[in-house]
């Protein structure tokens, strides 16, 4: 029997994630985002196939540790000793058996067998068939039944919620059991796909003379078969479901962008005004830069820097779609002293980080990240922040942000960078909340988004967004 398009694409995405270090969301976007499929072109490819491919690829990555634990009970050799195509077929089959009730067990087993044949691992077909048939018999048994009774709590939670033990240990020690459980659960749910409307780009898409509005974009998207919901934090944000928004005419015309709501908030914290000089120091992929360019206006100066030329090229393509030409792109290593001879009154340092606030959206991170990398990130982040502060004009504002949940990358970075910077102080709680309040949805209180130290924070455990941290700093 032939393998369905969705399973074939998911299998290839998982192979590239494991073998090439790719990110699943990037591969899925390349294969599904624009034309239905890059590597599997079929006139029968439907939105349902795209949805299943996405669910399989990301679901298997989210539940990888639990899947491997259950598979290990049925195997005579360690899971890591299996050939990669065989392991991926087993994971996909078991995921369907335990997590996708609408898929018949027979289809999950048979198509997994066909996947190993497609990968020319014919000798493994019998193994895959036998293991998954046994797994189907116990698919409705709670995984807790399979755990040893004396297993430490962090290992138990790590297996059941499919996270590395070291991450669970950290969170248990810092935020306690209930909040850790909430965060683990949130990281295994499908995140909301959020967007931001660009009303400046509506003129060409509407009837001449019609006043541009957010509702016009929503109508265009709903006409394309998508479902639209209001944002949870921002009044100009929205959530999309029911299809691929990047395949719509509205997206191609730059009427909106896909961006998590917490990520949308970060550039708003800078409070950029028309005519400001703005430096976006770690700019790629450019979503926050676009917001800064619009806020600075035609009289402003926005410089977007990144150390990777290919990411700058991708930003240039993005800005072309968004009709943003008022931005200068510069390739540089911001960990070294910056080459600018003038100061900026607004600076954004959206630093490279572990990404532990995005484990639902980028589940492969949890399997790649190592504990010692947190110290490495900290060293880099302190250097970036210190170099940026040296370019901040008197009276100017700098926002340091990450999508990490870890203090080593957040408040500890700020503390280290400010130790030798007496002229820099944190923006007051009232001032920070006042900056953000005009942009928030009704009933969202700005002060609730800041912690006791005045830092902006979101957590997937509390809100359906990514986990973000931001410190607001001023000079003088």
**How far, in Å, CA of 62 to CA of 286, rounded?**
27
Instruction: State both tokens at 47.
Output: 């939105």
Q: Given the structure tokens 């007496």, which residue do they identify? A: 422
Give the 3-state secondary structure of 121-164.
CHHHHHHHHHHHHHHHHCCCCCHHHHCCCCCCHHHHHHHHCCCC
Count CB atoms within 10 A of the CB of residue 205.
16
Q: Which residues on adjacent β-strands are paired with residue 329?
A: 304
DSSP state for residue 191 in the 8-state scheme: P
- Which of 356, 328, 311 has its CA nearest to residue 457? 356
Sheet holding 193-197, edge to edge: 227-230, 237-241, 193-197, 256-258
For CA atoms 231, 289, 258, 357, the dihedral sign is: negative
Q: Are strands 392-402 and 469-475 parallel, antiparallel or unpaired?
A: antiparallel
**How far, in Å, CA of 92 to CA of 64, rounded?**
10
Q: Choose, from 282, 353, 403, 463, the residue flagged as catalytic.
A: 403
Q: Is 235 exposed, middle or buried (0-12, 13-18, 19+ CB in 10 A)?
A: middle
Which positions ≥6 away from 268 have C-beta within 8 Å? Answer: 291, 435, 436, 439
- Which of 190, 237, 191, 193 has its CA nearest to residue 218? 237
Residue 282 annotated as catalytic: no
Using CA atoms, how far residue 264 sits from 95, 104, 286, 329, in Å, is: 33, 40, 11, 21
Angle between helices 125-137 and 64-72 (to 10 degrees): 100
- Which of 304, 191, 286, 265 has its CA nearest to residue 468? 265
- Residues with a catalytic annotation lie at 403
């Amino acid at each position: 029997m032939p393998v369905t398009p969705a399973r074939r694409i998911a299998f290839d995405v998982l192979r590239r994630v494991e073998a090439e270090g790719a990110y699943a969301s990037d591969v899925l976007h390349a294969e599904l985002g624009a034309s239905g499929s890059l590597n599997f072109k079929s006139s029968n490819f439907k939105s349902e196939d795209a949805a299943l491919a996405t669910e399989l690829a990301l679901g298997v990555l989210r539940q990888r540790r639990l899947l491997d634990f259950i598979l290990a009970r049925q195997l005579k050799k360690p899971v890591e000793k299996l050939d990669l195509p065989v392991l991926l077929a087993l994971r996909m089959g078991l995921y369907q058996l335990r997590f996708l009730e609408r898929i018949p067990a027979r289809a999950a087993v048979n198509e997994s067998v066909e996947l190993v044949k497609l990968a020319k691992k014919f000798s493994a077909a019998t193994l895959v068939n036998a293991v998954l048939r046994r797994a189907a018999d116990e698919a409705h048994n709670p995984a807790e039944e399979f755990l040893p009774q004396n297993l430490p709590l962090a290992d138990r939670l790590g297996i059941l919620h499919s996270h590395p033990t070291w991450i669970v240990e950290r969170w248990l020690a810092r935020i306690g059991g209930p909040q850790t459980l909430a965060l683990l659960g949130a990281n295994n749910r499908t995140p909301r796909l959020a967007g931001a409307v660009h009303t400046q780009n509506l003129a060409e898409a509407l009837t001449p003379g019609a006043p541009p509005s957010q509702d016009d974009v929503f109508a265009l998207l709903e006409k394309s078969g998508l479902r639209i919901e209001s944002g949870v934090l921002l009044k100009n944000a929205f959530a999309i479901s029911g299809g691929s928004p990047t395949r719509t005419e509205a997206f191609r015309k730059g009427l909106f962008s896909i961006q998590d709501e917490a990520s949308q908030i970060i550039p708003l914290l800078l409070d950029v005004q028309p005519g400001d000089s703005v430096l976006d120091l770690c700019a790629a992929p450019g979503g926050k830069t676009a917001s800064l360019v619009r806020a600075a206006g035609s009289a402003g100066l926005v410089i977007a820097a990144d150390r990777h030329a290919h990411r700058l090229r991708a930003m240039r393509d993005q800005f072309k779609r968004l009709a943003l030409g008022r931005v200068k792109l510069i390739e540089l290593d911001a960990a070294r002293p910056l080459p600018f001879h003038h100061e900026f009154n607004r600076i954004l340092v959206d630093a490279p980080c572990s990404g532990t606030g995005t484990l639902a959206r980028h589940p492969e991170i949890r399997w790649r990240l190592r504990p010692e990398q947190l110290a490495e990130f900290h060293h880099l982040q302190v250097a970036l922040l210190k170099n940026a502060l040296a370019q901040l004009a008197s009276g100017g504002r700098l926002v340091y942000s990450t999508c990490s949940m870890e203090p080593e990358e957040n408040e500890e970075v700020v503390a280290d960078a400010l130790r030798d910077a007496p002229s820099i102080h944190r923006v007051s709680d009232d001032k920070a909340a006042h900056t953000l309040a005009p942009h928030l949805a009704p009933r969202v209180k700005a002060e609730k988004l800041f912690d006791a130290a005045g830092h902006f924070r979101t957590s997937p455990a509390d809100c359906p967004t990514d986990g973000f941290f931001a410190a607001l700093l001023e000079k003088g």
